[in-house]
């Protein structure tokens, strides 16, 4: 009797040992990991590529832009002809159509990707890394801006060891006809140069550029305005189209004006705020 009980126990153990791997092998298949789109790279390309004379690619952005373009193509918003890694005008138009399909209007449907629309586009296709957000709107030095722009300005002031006066902030649609809509969205500032020497003006522009602004000294000879510094926070996803174009032109060595002349500001390594923070 004792022998028979032991035999049954061995049989049960043996059955478990054989069947366990079979049970594991018959489980549900593991879904492949989604590709990752670098949002910082996508936004940089969306600013620069539409301003290029050809279809050159923004360094480091091709793989991420292709993910976005393939998703737009899958939604019949972008012709396969333009799925090439170049975030040009056709991709901007397709992305604006995507934003409108989500119910966005105005500057929220300019074709410059935002966090919400980009994540929604990537559902079941790609995930986002290095996510950008302009943050909430606030008042600093008496001017309206977003928290990302404020953080950039505060750091520039720290480097300069001086307070900067803001003569025009962001989110100011129609507030200055001479700005061509640059200040309609986020990231755009005009800075007073009252009491500054010529060398100080140049230093201020340099520091603003070093923390991630596309910045230039504006002069009366350039337009119907007095001396001031104009700055656009690169890769601010609340930018107006005019500000997007200025950021792109800055990367391409231009002055951010309608004549698209050569950049007349101090030369620095061009970085975004996020790149500056990472050192």
Residue 113: other Cβ atoms inside 10 A: 26
Residue 134 class from Cβ within 10 Å (0-12 exposed, 13-18 middle, 19+ buried)?
buried
Distance of CA 128 to the CA centre of its chain: 12
222 vs 79: CA distance, rounded Å: 40
Q: Bridge-partner residues for 38, per DSSP?
A: 129
Q: What residues contact 251, with CB distance under 8 A and at least 6 apart?
A: 44, 47, 48, 214, 234, 270
Query: Is the distance from CB of 184 to CB of 172 less than 8 angstroms?
Result: yes
Print pLDDT tens along the chain (279 aa).
Answer: 333 333 333 333 344 444 444 444 566 777 678 999 999 999 999 999 999 999 999 999 999 999 999 999 999 999 999 999 999 999 999 999 999 999 999 999 999 999 999 999 999 999 999 999 999 999 999 999 999 999 999 999 999 999 999 999 999 998 777 778 999 999 999 999 999 999 999 999 999 999 999 999 999 999 999 999 999 999 999 999 999 999 999 999 999 999 999 999 999 999 999 999 999
Q: What is the 8-class DSSP label of residue 193?
A: -
pTM: 0.88
Residue 157: other Cβ atoms inside 10 A: 17
Residue 125 class from Cβ within 10 Å (0-12 exposed, 13-18 middle, 19+ buried)?
middle
Counting Cα atoms < 13 Å in the Cβ hemisphere of 98 gives: 28
Q: Locate 210 and state its tokens.
A: 């070093």
What percent helix, strand, coil does the chain show, rounded to 5? 45, 15, 40
Can you give the pLDDT at residue 26? 60
Can you give the pLDDT at residue 27? 66
């Amino acid at each position: 009797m004792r022998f028979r009980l032991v035999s049954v126990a061995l049989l049960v153990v043996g059955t478990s040992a054989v069947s366990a791997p079979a049970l594991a092998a018959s489980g549900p298949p593991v879904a492949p990991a989604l590709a990752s789109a670098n949002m910082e790279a996508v936004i940089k390309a969306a600013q620069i590529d539409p301003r290029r004379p050809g279809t050159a690619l923004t360094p480091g952005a091709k793989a991420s832009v292709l993910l976005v373009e393939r998703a737009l193509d899958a939604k019949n918003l972008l012709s396969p002809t333009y799925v090439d890694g170049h975030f040009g005008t056709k991709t901007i138009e397709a992305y604006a159509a995507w934003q409108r399909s989500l119910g966005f209007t105005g500057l929220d449907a300019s074709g410059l990707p935002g966090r919400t629309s980009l994540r929604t586009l990537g559902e079941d296709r790609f995930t986002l890394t290095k996510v950008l957000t302009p943050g909430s709107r606030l008042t600093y030095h008496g001017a309206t801006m977003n928290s990302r722009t404020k953080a950039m300005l505060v750091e520039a002031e720290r480097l300069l060891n001086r307070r900067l006066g803001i003569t025009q902030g962001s989110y100011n649609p129609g507030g200055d006809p001479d700005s061509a809509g640059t200040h309609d969205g986020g990231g755009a500032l005009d800075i007073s140069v009252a009491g500054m020497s010529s060398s100080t003006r140049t230093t201020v522009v340099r520091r603003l550029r070093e923390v991630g602004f596309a910045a230039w000294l504006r002069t009366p000879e350039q337009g119907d305005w007095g001396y001031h510094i104009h700055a656009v926070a690169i890769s601010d996803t609340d930018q107006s189209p005019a500000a997007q174009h200025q950021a792109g032109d800055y990367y391409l060595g231009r002055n951010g004006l309608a004549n698209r002349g050569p950049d007349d500001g101090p030369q620095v390594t061009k970085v975004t705020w996020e790149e500056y923070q990472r050192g």
